[in-house]
Amino acid sequence: MSELKIPGKLMLAGEYAVTLANHLALVFSIDRFISKNYSQLVNEKGVKYGLGSSGAYAVLMTKMENSSLSDKDIFRQALILSRQTQPQNSGADIAASTYSGLLLYKNGSFPERIFFPENWNLIVGWTGKPAITSELVKKNQLSSFFVKESDMIVRKMVDFIKAKDFEKFNQEIFLAEKNLEKLSGVLTDKLAKAIEIAKNFGIEAKISGAGGGDNVIAFTRDPKISQQIKNNWQEAGIIPLDLHVYYKK
């Protein structure tokens, strides 16, 4: 019997608005895992990559206690477990680690799975600095305009992903980033540099998660451009992570 392993996650959009009941996010699981015996969600020094290790751990503990539970029951129970230490947890990370794939998630509901077009390539750059999500969430009071804008961007992203319209999706990445930058403590010099580098190649990038550190993400349709962006990130001290969207079988 193969070892139980749970995937980590990255946020695509809606990372702050989804902390409020009935609001939206796009989140996806990635092909790095946590198990009883190891974690690929931290580096060799134990520093978190910002890949949802806490949520993945809650799902792992829940599954280890009762592997026969349905995904819905695992999601419910893991979220209860997670909120014992992280009361503001939206559940997006739990959803990604439970269901896998790209998910449209509404806080208070079960997620809907959608699929990226096969020729859209994920690129991820890690700043080397972990973000303290709970502090950033507490620090920022979300205006109704911010939340409305965030939800609208998420809905449009879903439409453009389903329509395989890369140019319009890329523009929503830009708008999602600009909306995030209205918040305090989110954009760091390193994140700004990573975004600028991608833009030099005609690709919009954005913070994934709460900001203040962790990761920047982007998508391309050309592996050569992906590699050029990653090379330039590396030169700027931003560490490319070899990650892919993970769909469990």
pLDDT digits (tens, 9 = 90+) for 210-246: 888 889 999 999 999 999 999 999 999 999 999 999 9
Residues 127 and 225 in one domain: yes
Residues 106 and 140 in one domain: no
For the chain, what percent of residues have pLDDT higher than 90?
86
Q: What is the mean pLDDT of residues 123-146?
A: 85
Listed residues 99, 114, 129: the one ending a domain: 114
Residues 22 and 106 in one domain: yes
Residues 28 and 84 in one domain: yes
What angle (nearest 5°) sits at the alpha carbon of residue 146, between those of residues 75 and 109?
20
What is the CATH classification number for the domain harbouring 228? 3.30.70.890
Give the residue among 150, 208, 179, 187 at the shortest CA–CA distance from 25.
150
193 Cβ contact partners less than 8 Å away, ≥ 6 residues apart: 236, 238
Write out the two tokens for 62. Answer: 């829940």
Write out the two tokens for 149. Answer: 């804008």
Residues 208 and 101 in one domain: no
Residues 68 and 149 in one domain: no
CA distance 135 to 237: 25
Residue 37 lies in a domain: yes
Given pLDDT bands bounded at 50, 70 and 90, which one contains residue 138? confident
What is the CATH classification number for the domain harbouring 34? 3.30.230.10
Residue 248 lies in a domain: no
Residues 131 and 218 in one domain: yes
Residues 150 and 87 in one domain: no
Given pLDDT bands bounded at 50, 70 and 90, which one contains residue 140? confident
Residue 83 lies in a domain: yes
Q: What is the mean pLDDT of residues 22-48?
A: 96
Q: What is the mean pLDDT of residues 21-43?
A: 97
Which CA distances in Å does 25 have to 53, 99, 168, 222? 18, 15, 18, 26
Write out the two tokens for 19. Answer: 């902390």
Listed residues 84, 114, 144: the one ending a domain: 114
Please tell me the predicted confidence (pLDDT) of residue 177.
98
Residues 128 and 235 in one domain: yes
Question: DSSP per residue over 76-103, as a string?
Answer: HHHHHHHHTT-TT--SHHHHHHHH-SEE
Listed residues 114, 133, 148: the one ending a domain: 114
- For the chain, the average pLDDT equals 95
Residues 217 and 152 in one domain: yes
> What is the pTM assigned to this prediction?
0.95
The phi and psi torsions of 173 (rounded to 5 degrees) equal -60, -45
Between 133 and 200, the more confident residue is: 200
State yes or no: pLDDT of 1 exceeds 70. no
Q: What is the mean pLDDT of residues 80-93?
A: 92
Which CA distances in Å does 15 have to 47, 85, 87, 113, 214? 21, 19, 16, 17, 13
Residues 106 and 152 in one domain: no
Give the residue among 61, 54, 16 at the shortest CA–CA distance from 36.
61
- Its domain, for residue 57, covers 5-114
Residues 100 and 154 in one domain: no
Residue 249 lies in a domain: no
Give the residue among 228, 234, 140, 129 at the shortest CA–CA distance from 180.
140
Q: What is the mean pLDDT of residues 182-191?
A: 92
Given pLDDT bands bounded at 50, 70 and 90, which one contains residue 101? very high
Instruction: Work out how many domains the chain is built from and give that number.
Output: 2
Which CA distances in Å does 189 have to 132, 211, 212, 238? 17, 11, 9, 11
